[in-house]
Chains A and B, each alone.
Chain A
Amino acid sequence: MTAVGTPLPRREDARMLAGRGVFLADLAGPGTLHAAFLRSTRPHALIHGVETAAAAELPGVTAVLTAADLGAATVPLLTRPDERFVEAAAFAMRDPRLPCLATGRVRYVGEPIALVLAESRHVAEDALELIEVAYTDLEPVLDPALALGDDAPVLHPHLEDNLAARIACAFGDVAAGHAAAAVTVEETYRMGRHGGVPLECRGVMARPDRRTGRLEVWTSSQIPHQVRTAICAATGWPEDRVRVAVPDVGGGFGTKANVYGEEIAVAIAAERTGREVVWVEDRAEHLVAAAHGRDQVHRARLSVDAEGRILAWEDEFLVDVGAGSLWVAGIVANTAIHLAGPYRIPAFHVRGRAAFTNKTLVAQYRGAGRPEACFALERSLDHAARRLGLSPAKIRRRNLLTGDDLPYPVPLPYRDGVPISYDGADFAACLEDCLRLVPEAEVRRLRAEHPELAIGVGVACYVEATGRGPYESGRVGLTTSGDFAVATGAAAAGQGHETTLAQVAADALGVDVCRVRACGGDTDAVPYGVGTFASRSAVLAGSAVHEAAGRLRARARALAARLLDVPAEKLETEPDGFVLAGTGTRVSWRDLAAELAPGGRLELEPALDEPALFRPPTVTWTMGAHVAVAGVDPETGLVRVLRYGVAHEGGVEINPMIVDGQIKGGVAQGIGGALLEEYTYSDTGQPTSGTFADYLLPGTCEVPAVAVRHRHADTDRNPLNVRGVGESGTIAAYPALAQAVDDALGAGGPGVTATPITPSRVLALAEDVPARDAEAAA
């Protein structure tokens, strides 16, 4: 009986394909108050007054709330690293104390200032136009480097400057490595500001339950338990008074692994009015007010010997976290740690800072620091390879960790304080598998087929910490009908948990998977949880469910033994329940359910309903390699992705179809970030990417079929022998495509140094190629 490992069709699909998914915007009914937020039109300004009387008088408006009505509630930070990491990495961070509604000052265009509650969204939006805000503009701070200068205006007056976080970590003798180098390459790399852009925008609905005095909140979120914690921290309400649950969630990608002021404001609005309140974000709001991601600049310096072996690696990075980030610790620490890459690096020195600017808040976005780190390291390797006359594959072969090196200790602690040890199998072999996905003959054929395009190939490698703690919870219960209900703290946003967690539970119970129903993301179903992000749910929630199911099965066996008056060891498990060895005497799961019901012989027993918490010893590492074939149109500078392949070293695949889907979908987002997507601002701080005509998403014609090769590597860091995969498709897409463009153009020097690789950047690079070649020859 093994459900794990089979590409079981997804449980979620039937309702989605029928148009019967239940998303946040589908929940409101007659009598629900509709909320609309008044948002700042200024990037940086003092607020002297918010005149709401006219809006409040509009027929159909119930209330207008400002910061004063919310008791100046702020959104608490979501993560702090372990003290051992803080000490080892000289890590420091500041709490920007982000208000739920602006108090006296706005820090980005889109920041919520007031909240109108009305009988319909139309009326609520009409009322917004009647609110007058008295602003005094302040100088906007838009450049993160200038933001850290002595004379920059300080965004958060309780802080002395605009430093959001800093980190520094090192090992080995970097100076000696540089001194011994055959080649040292030094360059600045930029990754543009972009983000998850889930197709469903955000949304929140809250309802006071007048009978119980509790507040029920539904939110389109990846982290309902953390939303509950934040609502209670902001309001002082006890945690057992608030239930937070998620409906079907239309994508998250990290954008919804955040807690927003709007979630807290809507909860308070429902409490204040005693009414059900719903807020459904529209896309215009989303692009300026849902969290952005990435936006990093890296000054990188890589030294290699004459064979291309890494001698020293140095990187100084700066993250623009906009007006603030609840995840600044995660982003900065991830970036620093993942700069170590999947290679033998004898000397390493990384310094990073994050700065506050007058832009939208920043959260994790699929990879959360990993793609940025990967881009700096992989681009530097490609640059060094060109200087040495090596192929991109060859320089990687000479540095990638092999089966002889692994497990491989990196002399740094991970964010959880545990010394890093890559628990992989053979990274170099993974690269070879990747290269085989696009044979050279195929590239020659493409060149013949597309004489109008300059065609190039790029390859890039990554390593990724997955399955991070601190913990996740799970619960498995026998239902009154003799089937099984599974709950966890991991809320799904398209990852297929209803299917995969049922597979895990079914195997641990020894039953057919069709008898197991799994759902996640409800604080009333499991009291504690962390959520779905950082490639963690299969590892963490999966393991918690596995443990809970194992406990349930053991207790059930003991109860069955009691019913038969035999020792439990004599009972064997079978799909329907238990059988006394060597006999036909059985106790089925349905028998147990009946005996546990009133009138049954076990009626006084506690229900068969087992909770479990899984706390991993530390992260487990996924490694992979991407290969991309890009065709560049020399006339327009447009880049077409013609072929794409990913080989990755992962663990047991709970559902191979879903693993495949995670990688392919991740690649699509990587292609978007590498070639198309960017949140842009004018030099006065106004967003200039407020529609999908400006913020470009990859479509059916931009994303090719992606070939995927899975390599299995055992890990002992969780009982399922699984590794995370959610970010594997995205991380290395940026450098792989950058190298493909370099190769297509025959670029010398550092080649592509910034994303998105827009047509204008491609044309500028193409123009620069002869100059760079001459420079290299000189």
Chain B
Amino acid sequence: MSDVRVALRVNGRAVEATVPARLGLADFLRDRLGLTGTHLGCEHGVCGACTVLLDGIAVRACLMFAAQAEGGDLWTIEGLHADGRIADLQEAMARHHGLQCGFCTPGFLVTAAELLAEGGRPSEQEVREALSGNVCRCTGYQGIVSAVLETARHRADRGDGPRDGEGAGRSLPAG
């Protein structure tokens, strides 16, 4: 089994490791780096629990090899939490009862972070569509949608524009 070297930035810090070529990105984050906030719910790219930001774009860590993140700037829930950039969203999620068991929560927060970083005032339907790649089995989504809508509104009221380095990925050409 061949090993490969991978170097990337994770939550703002440089990481270098030698990993088996077949090691998935989610397993790399969880087992090698101890970042267990990235959860595995289906391992075939449907449930969204393993969503992380790679170069500002929300991606599914279960569908990538660790080696594919080479050179990337990767953010997990732990990093987003620690640097405070989604503190308003986290607070709104708790207030709107947007989580019960909490297993899907990191994936939703990362996906929502990407949407919110674009700025603007998304409609409820736009929020629902942006979150449609994440599955929650507990809440019925209402609290999550309300929390994201409210956070977007508050940020827009404060005049926060799109943020550099995240979310901008959505407007980049594909590939």
Binding site for B on A (CB under 8 A): 9-10, 12-23, 25-26, 122, 196-201, 248-251, 253, 282-284, 493-496, 657-658, 660-661, 664-669, 691-693, 697, 699-701, 703, 705-706, 729
Enumerate chain B residues within 8 angstroms of A249, measured Cβ to Cβ: 101
Enumerate chain B residues within 8 angstroms of A19, measured Cβ to Cβ: 35-38, 76-78, 81, 105-106
Determine which residue in A196, A664, A669, A699 has the highest number of CB atoms from chain B within 10 A of its CB, and name it: A699
Enumerate chain B residues within 8 angstroms of A493, measured Cβ to Cβ: 101
The segment from B66-74, B128-136, B152-160, B161-169 found at the interface with A is B128-136
**A700 touching B128, Cβ below 8 Å:** yes
CB within 8 Å of A: which of B16-47?
Answer: 20, 22, 30, 35-44, 46-47
Could you name 28 residue pairs across A and B whose Cβ atoms are closer than 8 Å? A9-B94, A13-B93, A16-B105, A18-B77, A18-B78, A19-B35, A19-B36, A19-B37, A21-B105, A122-B20, A198-B101, A199-B47, A250-B102, A251-B138, A282-B40, A283-B43, A661-B97, A664-B140, A665-B100, A665-B140, A691-B44, A697-B135, A697-B137, A699-B131, A699-B141, A700-B132, A700-B144, A703-B142
Please judge, given known A-B contacts A18-B77, A282-B43, whether A701 and B102 are in contact too, CB under 8 Å. no
Give min CB distance, A422 to chain B, whole Å.
Answer: 28
Enumerate chain B residues within 8 angstroms of A693, measured Cβ to Cβ: 44, 46
State whether the Cβ of B145 lies closer than 8 Å to any Cβ in chain A: yes
Binding site for A on B (CB under 8 A): 20, 22, 30, 35-44, 46-47, 49, 76-78, 81, 90, 93-95, 97, 99-106, 109, 127-129, 131-145
**The one of A10, A14, A21 that contacts B103, using a Cβ cutoff of 8 Å:** A21
**B137 touching A197, Cβ below 8 Å:** yes
Residue on A with the closest CB to B109? A17
CA distance A668 to B140 in the complex (A): 5
**B140 touching A667, Cβ below 8 Å:** yes
**The one of A200, A701, A706 that contacts B101, using a Cβ cutoff of 8 Å:** A200
**B39 touching A23, Cβ below 8 Å:** yes
Secondary structure dominating the interface of A: loop
**The one of A17, A22, A25, A26 that contacts B99, using a Cβ cutoff of 8 Å:** A17
Enumerate chain A residues within 8 angstroms of B99, measured Cβ to Cβ: 13, 16-17
Give min CB distance, A625 to chain B, whole Å.
Answer: 18
CA distance A26 to B36 in the complex (A): 6
CA distance A285 to B21 in the complex (A): 24
* Given A17-B94, A19-B36, A251-B138, 14 new contacts (CB under 8 A): A12-B102, A14-B94, A16-B99, A17-B102, A19-B106, A20-B37, A23-B39, A26-B36, A197-B137, A200-B41, A250-B103, A692-B42, A700-B132, A703-B142
Give min CB distance, A494 to chain B, whole Å.
Answer: 3
**A664 touching B139, Cβ below 8 Å:** yes
Enumerate chain A residues within 8 angstroms of B106, measured Cβ to Cβ: 19
CA distance A248 to B105 in the complex (A): 13
Residue on B with the closest CB to A658? B97
Give min CB distance, B161 to chain A, whole Å.
Answer: 25
Q: 7 closest pairs, A vs B, by CB? A: A19-B37, A16-B102, A250-B103, A494-B101, A19-B77, A494-B100, A668-B140
**A18 touching B37, Cβ below 8 Å:** yes
A-B pairs under 8 A by CB, number:
173
Enumerate chain A residues within 8 angstroms of B103, measured Cβ to Cβ: 21, 23, 198-200, 248, 250-251
Enumerate chain A residues within 8 angstroms of B133, measured Cβ to Cβ: 699
Enumerate chain A residues within 8 angstroms of B100, measured Cβ to Cβ: 251, 494-496, 661, 665
**A17 touching B93, Cβ below 8 Å:** yes
Residue on A with the closest CB to B103? A250
Please judge, given known A-B contacts A23-B103, A250-B101, A251-B137, whether A699 and B132 are in contact too, CB under 8 Å. yes
Residue on B with the closest CB to A121? B27
**A21 touching B102, Cβ below 8 Å:** yes
**The one of B76, B137, B140, B143 that contacts A199, using a Cβ cutoff of 8 Å:** B137
**A660 touching B97, Cβ below 8 Å:** yes
**The one of B36, B94, B142 that contacts A13, using a Cβ cutoff of 8 Å:** B94
CA distance A330 to B103 in the complex (A): 29
CA distance A587 to B134 in the complex (A): 53
CA distance A91 to B49 in the complex (A): 43
Give min CB distance, A254 to chain B, whole Å.
Answer: 12
Give min CB distance, A284 to chain B, whole Å.
Answer: 8
Determine which residue in B42, B81, B95, B104 has the highest number of CB atoms from chain A within 10 A of its CB, and name it: B42
**B97 touching A657, Cβ below 8 Å:** yes
Please judge, given known A-B contacts A23-B39, A691-B46, A700-B131, whether A198 and B102 are in contact too, CB under 8 Å. no
Enumerate chain B residues within 8 angstroms of A692, measured Cβ to Cβ: 42, 44, 46-47, 135
Enumerate chain A residues within 8 angstroms of B97, measured Cβ to Cβ: 10, 657-658, 660-661
CA distance A106 to B112 in the complex (A): 45
Give min CB distance, A413 to chain B, whole Å.
Answer: 34
**A705 touching B142, Cβ below 8 Å:** yes
Give min CB distance, B70 to chain A, whole Å.
Answer: 21
**A199 touching B94, Cβ below 8 Å:** no
Enumerate chain A residues within 8 angstroms of B44, measured Cβ to Cβ: 283-284, 691-693
**B140 touching A9, Cβ below 8 Å:** no
**The one of B40, B101, B128, B141 that contacts A25, using a Cβ cutoff of 8 Å:** B40
Give min CB distance, A118 to chain B, whole Å.
Answer: 14
CA distance A250 to B127 in the complex (A): 24
Give min CB distance, B81 to chain A, whole Å.
Answer: 4
CA distance A196 to B103 in the complex (A): 15
Please judge, given known A-B contacts A13-B93, A200-B103, whether A661 and B143 are in contact too, CB under 8 Å. yes
CA distance A576 to B127 in the complex (A): 46
CA distance A196 to B102 in the complex (A): 16
Enumerate chain B residues within 8 angstroms of A729, measured Cβ to Cβ: 140
**A283 touching B143, Cβ below 8 Å:** no
CA distance A697 to B144 in the complex (A): 17
Enumerate chain A residues within 8 angstroms of B42, measured Cβ to Cβ: 283, 691-692
CA distance A741 to B93 in the complex (A): 33
CA distance A251 to B140 in the complex (A): 13
Enumerate chain A residues within 8 angstroms of B139, measured Cβ to Cβ: 661, 664-665, 668
Enumerate chain B residues within 8 angstroms of A16, measured Cβ to Cβ: 99, 102, 105
CA distance A249 to B40 in the complex (A): 13
**The one of B38, B76, B90, B127 that contacts A17, using a Cβ cutoff of 8 Å:** B90
Give min CB distance, A533 to chain B, whole Å.
Answer: 15
Enumerate chain A residues within 8 angstroms of B30, measured Cβ to Cβ: 25-26
Residue on B with the closest CB to A705? B142
Residue on A with the closest CB to B46? A692
CA distance A694 to B94 in the complex (A): 32
CA distance A495 to B114 in the complex (A): 29
CA distance A706 to B140 in the complex (A): 8
CA distance A23 to B129 in the complex (A): 28
CA distance A493 to B133 in the complex (A): 23
**B94 touching A10, Cβ below 8 Å:** yes
Enumerate chain B residues within 8 angstroms of A705, measured Cβ to Cβ: 142, 145
